[in-house]
Amino acid sequence: MSVSVFIINSKKGVVIMVKGYLKKGFAAALALTIVTGGMTALNVSAVGDNELPFVAADAVALENNSFVSFETIGVKKTLTITGSASGGAGNYTYAYFYKKSYETKWTMKKNFSTTESVNIAPQTVTDYDICVKVKDGIGTLTKKYFTVHVNPALESHSSVSPQSLIKGDSIMLTGSATGGSGDYTYAYLYRRDDGAWKVIKNFSTVSSVSLKPAYTGNYGICIKAKDSYGTVVKEYFNVPVTQIELNAYLDEDTLQIGDTVTVSAEASGDNTGFTYAYFVQEKGASSWKFIKNFSESQSVTFTPNAVGEYNICVKVKTPSGKVEKKYLSLNVVQEKNDAKSITSRIISDSMTQVQKVKAIHDWIVNNVEYDMENLMNGTIPPEDYTAEGLFENRKAVCDGYSKAFMQMAQYAGFEVIRVTGVGYNSAGSVEAHAWNQIKVNGNWYNIDVTWDDPVVMSETTFDNLVYDYFLVPDSSFNRNHQANPGQTRYSCTAPQPLEDIEQEVLEKELENNDNYFYCETTDEVKAVAAGILAGGTTEFTVIYKTGNMSASDVFYASADAGTASRKVSGTSCEYMVWKIDGYEQMTIYFTLR
């Protein structure tokens, strides 16, 4: 008996052909068992005297199951290429090739052998093509291709914010990386000063964590980034943590009623990002009141309106919202009635010399009353003749006026004297009198504060601050003032410095009084009168220079406007010399039909 076996590899499996010759007429069963790598056992039976039939086996084709360790890897990192196969005829061998994707020529890492893995370390940041060839025991060959992205080396771009902070605020730690083999994880650590490192969070995909320092000092921060290859890069930061220091203070902790206090604040020596709020509470009160809400202002002013003790609270807020506060005490006392205290309140270094003299002049005129009642009754008390009595009682006669002015002017730094003599009053009578001379801007001037303080005799008399005797020369002053024989006095020849005060006084008067108007022409008077009537008002006051218009000009211009409106049946007026020499004011009254 002769038997031949042929094995033919095909895409559908393995075809086995058996040829055999048996003795003629011999019917026998031939059992043939073939076992190959990955194949199913075959049983072939002889059925005839001569040639046996073809039998197809249920076989497995050769498959290339090779793989690479990373599809993305950092430059110069080791890439493992592993050959693997199944099916086919067994006894596999492998060959390994690679090239840069833009190249055409392959580099063979290792030719066919039983070596199941090789390593390469790409040196260039680009895409690499990988090819693994597998051959089985009967020479069947399969190929498998891969593309591996080669990135730059792993780099950390982590950050912390803020880079310095106040204790109680939080630091945000953010992990970030580029390059490497991707799939990053992060670990966060800290240490205080030079102590041991402590883990905030170990390696995970969490890209940010927060840390709230409980102590002051320097905090070291370490953020580690790791890629899927296992490469680790670290980045270190130093974050100083300080205690918020609020320095708040008053420019005065005791002041007189009516004075203004300045509250100042500064946090940790740097106001970047800080905001401040200021509050006040009267002693014994249950609630606080705003002086100023949160802003970048590092100082505010506050004027208490009552005598007593006050609590001041200053708050500072960090950019994150943390608030610190400091309390201050303020004592408000009754105004001191002496020349030095009053002068220091009304005089400032920024004033001109004329403005300083005017401030003293105005304070006396506005705050002191000539004691006409006791003068008429012949009962003038001794204190009316003194500066101390004037400051205490706010009443005096000319002696008190002139002595008070002299004391205040001396505290303000002026050369000043007091002159006694006689004055010729508005009734033409001669009366004992006292006034002053003062040196301003190198020139001596006469000043009579008493006569610039009009005496109110009835409800229809104007109590009007005037400047008829404010820094005037002898040429006008000596017409109604005569010094006593032997009295020291200086020659006063400089003209009255009205240009330094008239605009300021005029603007203040117009600002503080409703329906007061400064007019330079009769047309302006008519326009004002028409506007007043159109608004339903029947009274207004015009201030004017006597060089521009006369009292009759102002009156008739007003009357003409009233007649033109057809609303007025009558016009009347009152006028007087105004505060500054050369000006008058007229109050117009309209009677409606």
pLDDT tens for residues 280-302? 998 788 899 989 999 999 999 98
Picking from 338, 347, 284, 274, the residue whose alpha carbon sits closest to that of residue 310 is: 284
| 349-371 per-position pLDDT tens digit | 999 999 999 999 999 998 999 99
For the CA atoms of the chain, what is the radius of gyration? 54
Q: Is the pLDDT of residue 31 over 50?
A: no
Q: Is the pLDDT of residue 82 over 90?
A: yes
Domains of the chain: 2-56 (no CATH), 63-151 (2.60.40.2550), 155-242 (2.60.40.10), 246-333 (2.60.40.10), 339-500 (3.10.620.30), 502-592 (3.30.110)
| 168-206 per-position pLDDT tens digit | 889 999 999 999 998 999 999 999 988 999 999 999 999
* pLDDT confidence bin for 12, thresholds 50/70/90: very low
- With a pLDDT cut of 90, the percent of the chain lying above it is 64
DSSP annotation of 523: H
Q: What is the pLDDT of residue 312?
A: 94
DSSP annotation of 32: B
Burial 89-110 (b: 16+ CB within 10 A, else e): beebbbbbbbebeeeeeeeebe
* Average pLDDT for 538-555: 94
Tell me the backbone φ, ψ of residue 200, rounded to 5 degrees. Answer: -85, -45
Q: Is the pLDDT of residue 460 over 80?
A: no
Q: Which residues contact 137 (CB under 8 A, 6 or more apart)?
A: 37, 88, 89, 90, 91, 92
Q: Is the pLDDT of residue 548 over 50?
A: yes
Q: Is the pLDDT of residue 53 over 70?
A: no
* pLDDT confidence bin for 327, thresholds 50/70/90: very high
Q: What is the pLDDT of residue 419?
A: 97
Contact between residue 365 and residue 465 where contact means Cβ atoms under 8 Å apart: yes
Q: What is the mean pLDDT of the chain?
A: 86
Per the DSSP assignment, residues forming a β-bridge with 436 are 418, 447
* pLDDT confidence bin for 1, thresholds 50/70/90: very low
Q: What predicted TM-score, i.e. pTM, was given to this entire model?
A: 0.45
> Which amino acid is present at 315?
K
- 358 Cα distance to chain centroid: 41
Q: Is the pLDDT of residue 48 over 60?
A: no
- 577 Cα distance to chain centroid: 53
DSSP 340-374: HHHHHHH--TTS-HHHHHHHHHHHHHHH-EE-HHH
Q: Is the pLDDT of residue 36 over 70?
A: no
Give the DSSP H or E segment for 593. Answer: none
Q: Which residues contact 348 (CB under 8 A, 6 or more apart)?
A: none
| 95-130 per-position pLDDT tens digit | 999 999 999 999 999 999 999 999 999 999 999 999
* pLDDT confidence bin for 43, thresholds 50/70/90: very low
Q: What is the pLDDT of residue 245?
A: 84
Q: How far apart are the first and last CA of the chain?
A: 157
Mean pLDDT check: name the lowest of 151-165, 337-351, 356-370: 337-351
Q: Which residues contact 148 (CB under 8 A, 6 or more apart)?
A: 68, 70, 71, 72, 73, 79, 122, 127, 128, 130
Picking from 208, 206, 199, 145, the residue whose alpha carbon sits closest to that of residue 172 is: 208
Q: Is the pLDDT of residue 257 over 90?
A: no
Cα separation values, 510 from 76, 266, 333, 513, Å: 86, 40, 34, 6
More confident residue, 3 or 391: 391
* pLDDT confidence bin for 270, thresholds 50/70/90: low
- 93 Cα distance to chain centroid: 73
Cα separation values, 188 from 203, 210, 310, Å: 8, 10, 50
Mean pLDDT check: name the lowest of 36-50, 454-468, 469-483: 36-50
Q: Is 456 exposed, middle or buried (0-12, 13-18, 19+ CB in 10 A)?
A: middle
| 225-251 per-position pLDDT tens digit | 999 999 999 999 999 998 888 899 999
* pLDDT confidence bin for 463, thresholds 50/70/90: low
* Average pLDDT for 564-590: 89
